[in-house]
Amino acid sequence: MDATSRRKLLVWYRKNRRDLPWRRTRDPYAIWVSEIMLQQTRVAAVVSYYERFLRRFPDVGTLARARIDTVLTLWSGLGYYRRARHLHAAARILRRDGFPRTAADWRRLPGVGPYTAAAVASIAFGEPAAVVDGNVTRVLSRLHALDDGRPVGDLAQAWLSPRAPGDFNQAVMELGATVCTPRSPECARCPLRTACAGKETPERYPAPRARARPVRERRAVAFACRNGKVFLTRRNGTGLLAGMWDLPPTRARGEPLAVIRHGVLNRHMVISVYRDRAHGAGRWFTAWQLGRIPLAAAARKCLRGTGFGLGDIRE
């Protein structure tokens, strides 16, 4: 990309970017938290969690000193809870060692991959490290008419503005998220349309990737309720939901109280909720307490489906 195209993209971004809370700061802590939350999660879903999280943990010290249960509770409903555990573990390292200034050093932290490392280092510290995500790949593939599925990392790095790497990275991602979308891109609004080699058939680029077939799963869970309390069990082990509270499994049959659909990555779950007795190791919780424990997102949906504590289960 030539200097004129870079300038057009930056001008477009500064005029048209969405007003997101993490774009109002250069604080590496706040930017890092936002990037972890944005991993595999839509922007619209992140904003309220981000603002609430920073109110509770305004700096890396308060996060590092917090109990992991408290962190998981604030994260509850956002999903992919391993991110919260990595965030907490990394906060303890950052409190001790300080914030890295390069993408290479950020990658040494738990839960920080190439994309997140480049995003934080470029936005917070101005390092010329290019980010590559789905939006960037799509924009570059269309701009250069690449339909062979080749990686675009080197191209993104060569394309990066060395004077404003943070803004430029965000500009490319913003273009992909709002204009150069997967379907029905708005090419007439694109600041790079005159330089785009793929503008005649944009949806041809990039080459489609083979997708994993969705895994369909059916579960039955128990809704045991007495004296205004519901019975929950805690997930053990080291899986995605380790440490989260959930409705226990059941073999009950008959007419369910509710049927909930819930998706995680390529898993499509249909969860039937049955009235049943309490069984297994667990605890009883009031509706008020549900908003103050790390509650699995699927359990949250199930409880809402039964109507239990509808006004108290915090989103």
Q: What confidence category does residue 111 fall into, taking pLDDT thresholds of 50, 70 and 90? A: very high
Beta strands 245-246 and 258-264, pairing class: unpaired
CA dihedral over 278, 280, 284, 290, signed as positive or negative: negative
Homologous superfamily (CATH) of 215-306 is Nucleoside Triphosphate Pyrophosphohydrolase (3.90.79.10)
Tell whether the model's pLDDT for residue 100 goes beyond 80.
yes
Q: What average pLDDT does the chain have? A: 93
Give the mean model confidence (pLDDT) for residues 88-103. Answer: 98
CA atoms of 87 and 60, how far apart (whole Å): 10
Which residue reads 């573990």 in tokens? 89
Q: At 272, is the secondary structure helix, strand, or coil?
A: strand
Report the top-level CATH class of 3-204.
mainly alpha
Tell whether the model's pLDDT for residue 193 goes beyond 50.
yes
Catalytic machinery residues = 35
**Comparison of pLDDT for 309 and 77, the residue scoring more:** 77
Tell whether the model's pLDDT for residue 211 goes beyond 80.
no
Q: What confidence category does residue 310 fall into, taking pLDDT thresholds of 50, 70 and 90? A: low
Q: List residues bridging with 261 in a β-sheet.
A: 270
pLDDT (tens digit per residue) in 133-173 = 999 999 999 999 998 878 899 999 999 999 999 999 999 99
Tell whether the model's pLDDT for residue 31 goes beyond 70.
yes
- Per cent of the chain over pLDDT 70 is 98
pLDDT recorded at residue 207? 85
Let me know how many helices (H) and strands (E) the chain has, helices first. 13, 7
Beta strands 283-286 and 215-223, pairing class: unpaired
**First-to-last CA distance in the chain?**
43
Domain ranges within the chain, ordered by starting residue: 3-204, 215-306
| CB contact set of 87 (below 8 Å; sequence gap of 6+) | 33, 36, 63, 71, 111
Tell whether the model's pLDDT for residue 314 goes beyond 70.
no
Q: At 54, is the secondary structure helix, strand, or coil?
A: helix
Per-residue CA distances from 39 to 35, 242, 271 (Å) = 6, 19, 26
DSSP state of 222: E
pLDDT (tens digit per residue) in 64-80 = 999 999 999 999 888 88
pLDDT recorded at residue 258? 95
Tell whether the model's pLDDT for residue 312 goes beyond 50.
no
Report the amino acid identity of residue 138: R
- Per cent of the chain over pLDDT 90 is 82
The pTM is what? Answer: 0.86
